[in-house]
């Protein structure tokens, strides 16, 4: 049980990812596919943020923090800090996700103007 | 003085110009074309400078903002990416010159934005090539994919639906790649390619590494259009504007193939790819199926762009097949095929664009008498088609020759047979087109006076340069292999 609760983030990330994949594959409405794609992308962000997070960790600013001033202390205290790198990577990934959603919505708008529907089967029928 | 900054300049020049293009485009619609061409020529000159440096002094490592490698982003250029950078820049310059007439006719209102996004796509492709950082590759991969979505969407009436499919599938591919990076980061705490290659070998038994390698193969397989993951490719190549097809088809899948080589042979070394998991064994058969599947489906197409798209799927199969041989000949065959196929597909899609420009058709049955109306274009088509089939002295023969040599020395006779069969299938579908172009009269238009109606010079010259390039690459292939490609074989491959 501890294994499950201790890694709750990772179980939720896998669940979200599967929900997203299901949405993209099984849903016939193109907007629902897009929602699935977003869930899929955000599940990755949960995953990356979980890598860096730490119970009781503090912000990774060395200046003025406890243990500052002595080289040996700094090394020992390193385990108190949260790893900022995965979080910073996710800032970029969020921007990419917003960009992808924007392009997809623009394409959807054009599809709707042309076919007056967003149902995949109906659009394929009209192609 | 600036030559030590070439690795960053090659990416930054087109990126900065692409931001200026929409502003300039507000008061002059003609200027963006010249700006894009100039930026690409500048990048081409820079990339040639990089290649010369690499050939003379060995690999270049460039530190962005002076941060030392595992912490900062490093641009690392060895023979493989120096050569790929020159290839991408060269094809880009030619296709941009070619695109002016074509895009003005097909999408007259979209010129300015076309060149802005084309430059961004170019930036993304170059960035993926020069960078030595796994996450940086993801960012540039997404820059190039997002620009490609936008460019494909301005195509014909079915383009939007094809683009939507590509967005959904392409995003899954990019996310899988990112997951692979994440798992590697958990295991090693590093994102630098060369740092990873030293940190990973002791960890090969770990399940995390195995999972990450599988995510990489799936993600990059989607981006390359490797057989069971290819479903976005035919629609995207077919319905894009013809200049965009001529740009995306030769370059995007090739750059993804480059990242694939990087991941499987530099990040994971050859021991992992061949021994820890049966990755290469499986990929070899997947590639073999891709080759046969792509060729057979291509035969049944009546739309020439669709035919070329399916032929691309089978050509990606060749590139992956050569990598799975695990010997020097196979690897050289793959890298040489990246080069040759980029030239052949750029030439073929450019020819199709020229035919659409003059005759407004892409149905093969309506190509009759084309050799009378467009003699130079038809001649270039014949050269490119013969190269696709693999007849000497065209370039296509040499890469297939090396692939066959690789298969023989690996003792994989089944693959030799598959390469032979697929060459025959290639001959079937290209000779069908050649028959219509050179021997059949035009159906439908009965007794139309046949006037010479050659493509405009700005389209014809890039096509002819590419066609001559195919022949030149054939004659120079020995020299290219000795000077450049021979140096790219990863450690451990004999």
Note the pLDDT of residue A70: 52
Which residues of chain B does A30 touch, with a Cβ-Cβ cutoff of 8 Å? Answer: 164
B314 within 8 A of B290, measured Cβ to Cβ: yes
- Asked if B164's CB is within 8 angstroms of A108's CB, the reply is yes
Tell me how far apart the alpha carbons of residues B373 and A22 are, in angstroms, rounded to a whole number. 52
Beta bridge mates, B131: B75
pLDDT for B231-258, tens place per residue?
A: 899 989 999 898 899 999 889 999 999 9
Comparing CA positions, the residue from B141, B263, B261, B258 lying closest to residue B200 is B263
Q: Does B163 touch chain A (CB under 8 A)?
A: yes
- Rounded to an integer, what distance in angstroms lies between the CA atom of residue B244 and that of residue A2? 54
Q: Which residues of A touch B162 (CB under 8 A)?
A: none
B413/A contact by beta carbon, under 8 A: no
Q: Is A83 helix (H, G, I), strand (E, B) or coil?
A: coil
Would you call B424 an interface residue with chain A, using a CB distance cutoff of 8 Å? Answer: no
Angle at A36 between CA B121 and CA B210, to 5 degrees: 75
Dihedral of the CA atoms B252, B480, B262, B233 (nearest 10)? 20
Burial class (CB in 10 A: 0-12, 13-18, 19+), B356: buried
DSSP letters spanning A38-65: HHHHHHHHHHHHHHH--TT-B-S--TTS
Which pLDDT belongs to residue A1? 62
What are the tokens at A46? 């949960």
The pLDDT > 90 percentage for chain B reads 31
| Cis preceding linkage at B393, omega within 30 | yes
Encode pLDDT of B125-179 as tens digits.
999 999 988 999 999 999 999 999 999 988 888 888 899 999 999 999 999 999 9
Distances (CA, A) of B113 to B5, B30, B32, B248: 29, 12, 9, 17
- Each residue's pLDDT tens digit, B334-379: 999 999 999 999 999 999 988 888 887 888 777 777 777 788 888 8
If we measure between CA atoms, which residue out of B465, B390, B381 comes closest to residue B423? B390
| Yes or no, beta carbons of A48 and B182 under 8 Å apart | yes
pLDDT band at B327 (very low <50, low <70, confident <90, very high): confident
Residue with tokens 């097909």: B106
Look at B164 and B441; give whichever has higher pLDDT.
Answer: B164
Measured distance CA(B137)–CA(A19) in Å, rounded: 27
Task: Give B157's contacts in chain A (Cβ within 8 Å).
Answer: 114
Beta carbons within 8 Å of B117's beta carbon, 6+ residues apart: B18, B147, B150, B151
Using a CB-CB cut-off of 8 Å, the residues of chain A touching B163 are 107
Q: What are phi and psi of B61, to 5 degrees?
A: -115, 125
Q: Which residues of chain A does B175 touch, with a Cβ-Cβ cutoff of 8 Å? A: 40-41, 44
Summarize pLDDT for B29-68 with one digit per residue, the tens: 888 889 889 999 999 999 998 888 888 888 888 888 778 7
- Residue B356 phi, psi dihedral angles, 5° rounding: -65, -40
Among B221, B219, B184, B190, which residue's Cα sits nearest to residue B204? B184
DSSP B220-268: HHHHHT-GGG-TTHHHHHHHS-HHHHHHHHHHHHHHHHHHHHHIIIIIS
Query: Band of the pLDDT at B220, cuts 50, 70, 90?
Result: very high
CB contact under 8 A, A100 and B185: no
Residue B391's pLDDT is what?
84
Distance from CA of A60 to the nearest CA of B (A): 15
The average confidence (pLDDT) of chain B is: 87
Contacts of A121 in chain B (CB under 8 A): none
Question: Can you tell me the distance from the alpha carbon of B395 to that of B399, in angstroms, rounded to the nearest whole number?
Answer: 7
* CA B231 – CA B293 distance, rounded (Å): 13
| Rounded mean pLDDT, B404-420 | 89
Among partner residues B149, B150, B161, which is closest to A127 by beta-carbon distance?
B161
Tracing tokens 């030769």 back to the chain, one arrives at B250
- Indicate yes or no: CB of B171 within 8 angstroms of CB of A86: no
- Give me the torsion for CA of B56, B58, B64, B69, rounded to 10°: -160
Q: Which helix or strand (DSSP H or E) is residue A94 part of? A: helix A85-115
Q: Which of A30, A100, A114 lies at the smallest CB-CB distance from B146? A: A100
Helix, strand, coil % over all residues of chain A, rounded to 5: 75, 5, 20
Q: Is the pLDDT of residue B448 over 60?
A: no
Q: Give Cβ neighbours of residue B139 (< 8 Å, ≥ 6 apart).
A: A92, A96, B127
Domain ranges (residues) in chain B = 278-494
**How many CB atoms are located within 10 Å of the residue B448 CB?**
11
Nearest partner of B275 among B352, B213, B196, judged by Cα = B213
pLDDT of B278 reads: 83
Residue of B9, B252, B262 whose CA lies nearest to B141: B252
**Does any CB of chain A come closer than 8 Å to the CB of residue B75?**
no
Instruction: State the number of CA atoms in the 13 A half-sphere of A62 facing the CB.
Output: 12
Kindly write down the DSSP assignment for every residue of B321-332, as one continuous string: HHHHT-SHHHHH
- Label residue B318 exposed, middle or buried (CB < 10 Å: 0-12, 13-18, 19+): buried
Q: How many CB atoms lie within 10 A of CB B404?
A: 20
Name every chain B residue with its beta carbon within 8 A of the beta carbon of A41: 171, 175
Residue B179 near residue A47, CB atoms below 8 Å: yes
Question: Would you list the DSSP string of B148-203?
Answer: HHHHHHTSSTTHHHHHHHHHHHHHHHHHHHHHHHHHHHHHHS--BHHHHHHHSGGG
At CB < 8 A and 24+ separation, what contacts does B197-206 make? B197/B266, B197/B267, B197/B269, B200/B267, B200/B268, B200/B269, B200/B272, B201/B269, B201/B271, B201/B272, B204/B271, B204/B272, B204/B276, B205/B276
- What is the average pLDDT across B311-333? 89
* Predicted structure pTM score: 0.91
B73 touches chain A (CB under 8 A): no
**The pLDDT value given to residue B276:** 76
Q: What's the gap in Å between the CA of A56 and the closest CA on chain B?
A: 20
CA dihedral defined by B436, B438, B440, B445, rounded to 10 degrees? 90
Could you give the C-alpha distances from B207 to B186, B188, B190, B203, B211, in angstroms and in order?
A: 12, 13, 18, 9, 6
Higher pLDDT, residue B483 or B464: B464
Angle between helices B395-409 and B457-483 (to 10 degrees): 30
pLDDT of residue A102: 92
Nearest CA in chain B to A37: B168
**In A, what residues contact B, Cβ < 8 A?**
21, 24, 30, 33-34, 37, 40-41, 44, 47-48, 51, 85-86, 89, 92-93, 96, 99-100, 103-104, 106-108, 110-111, 114, 123-124, 127
**Domains of chain A, CATH where assigned:** 2-56+83-126 (1.10.287.3510)
Burial readout A63-101 (b: 16 or more C-beta within 10 A, e: otherwise): eeeeeeeeeeeeeebeeebbbebbbebbeebeebbeebb
Which residues, in sequence order, are CB contacts of B5 under 8 Å at separation 6+?
A: B62
- Checking if the pLDDT of B405 tops 60, the result is yes
Cα B303 from Cα B157, distance rounded (Å): 15
Check CB contact under 8 Å for B160 and A48.
no
- Please identify every stretch of chain A with a pLDDT value under 50, giving residue numbers as ranges: none
Interface A–B counts its CB contacts (< 8 A) at: 70
Q: What is the DSSP letter of A66?
A: T
């Amino acid at each position: 049980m501890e294994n499950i609760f201790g890694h709750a983030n990772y179980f939720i990330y896998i669940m979200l990812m599967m929900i997203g994949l299901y949405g993209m594959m099984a849903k016939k409405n193109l907007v629902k596919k897009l929602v699935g794609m977003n869930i899929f992308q955000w599940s990755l962000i949960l995953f990356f943020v979980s890598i860096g997070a730490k119970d009781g960790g503090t912000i990774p600013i060395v200046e003025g923090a406890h243990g500052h001033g002595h080289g040996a202390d700094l090394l020992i205290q390193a385990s108190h800090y949260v790893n900022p790198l995965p979080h910073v990577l996710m800032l970029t990934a969020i921007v990419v996700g917003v960009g992808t959603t924007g392009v997809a919505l623009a394409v959807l708008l054009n599809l709707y103007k042309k076919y007056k529907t967003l149902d995949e089967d109906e659009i394929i029928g009209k192609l | 003085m600036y030559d030590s900054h070439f690795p960053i300049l090659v990416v930054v020049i087109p990126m900065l110009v692409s931001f200026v293009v929409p502003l300039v485009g507000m008061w002059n619609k003609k200027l963006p074309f010249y700006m894009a061409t100039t930026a690409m020529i500048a990048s081409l000159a820079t990339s040639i400078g990089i290649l010369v440096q690499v050939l003379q002094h060995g690999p270049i490592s460039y530190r962005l903002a002076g941060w030392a490698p595992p912490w900062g982003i490093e641009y690392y250029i060895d023979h493989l990416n120096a050569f790929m950078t020159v290839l991408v820049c060269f094809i880009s310059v030619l296709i941009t010159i070619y695109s002016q007439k074509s895009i003005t006719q097909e999408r007259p209102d979209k010129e300015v934005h076309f060149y802005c996004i084309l430059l961004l796509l170019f930036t993304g492709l170059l960035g993926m090539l020069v960078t030595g950082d796994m996450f940086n590759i993801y960012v540039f991969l997404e820059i190039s994919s997002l620009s490609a979505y936008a460019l494909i969407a301005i195509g014909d009436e079915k383009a939007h639906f094809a683009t939507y499919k590509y967005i959904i599938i392409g995003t899954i591919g990019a996310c899988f790649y990112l997951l692979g990076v994440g798992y590697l980061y958990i295991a090693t705490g590093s994102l630098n390619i060369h740092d990873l290659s030293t940190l990973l070998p002791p960890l090969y038994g770990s399940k995390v590494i195995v999972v990450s390698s599988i995510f990489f193969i799936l993600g990059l397989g989607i981006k390359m259009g490797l057989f069971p993951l290819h479903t976005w490719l035919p629609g995207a190549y077919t319905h894009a504007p013809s200049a965009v097809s001529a740009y995306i088809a030769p370059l995007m899948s090739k750059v993804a193939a480059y990242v694939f080589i990087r991941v499987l042979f530099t990040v994971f070394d050859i021991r992992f790819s061949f021994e820890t998991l049966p990755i290469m064994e499986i990929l070899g058969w997947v590639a073999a199926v891709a080759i046969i599947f792509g060729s057979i489906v291509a035969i049944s197409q009546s739309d020439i762009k669709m035919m070329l798209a399916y032929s691309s799927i089978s050509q990606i199969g060749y590139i992956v097949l050569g990598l799975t041989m695990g010997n020097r000949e196979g690897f050289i065959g793959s890298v040489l095929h990246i080069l040759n196929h980029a030239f052949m597909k750029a030439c073929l899609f450019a020819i199709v664009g020229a035919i659409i420009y003059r005759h407004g058709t892409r149905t093969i049955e309506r190509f009759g008498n084309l050799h009378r109306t467009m003699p130079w274009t038809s001649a270039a088509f014949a050269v490119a088609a013969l190269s696709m089939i693999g007849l000497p002295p065209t370039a296509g023969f040499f890469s297939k020759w090396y692939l066959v040599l690789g298969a023989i020395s690996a003792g994989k006779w089944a693959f030799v047979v598959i390469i032979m069969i697929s060459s025959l299938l290639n001959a079937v579908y290209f000779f069908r087109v050649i028959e219509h172009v050179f021997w059949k009269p035009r159906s439908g238009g009965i007794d139309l006076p046949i006037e010479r109606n050659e493509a405009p010079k700005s389209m014809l010259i890039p096509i002819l340069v590419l066609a001559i390039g195919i022949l030149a690459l054939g004659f120079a292939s020995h020299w290219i292999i000795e000077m450049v490609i021979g140096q790219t074989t990863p450690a451990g491959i004999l």
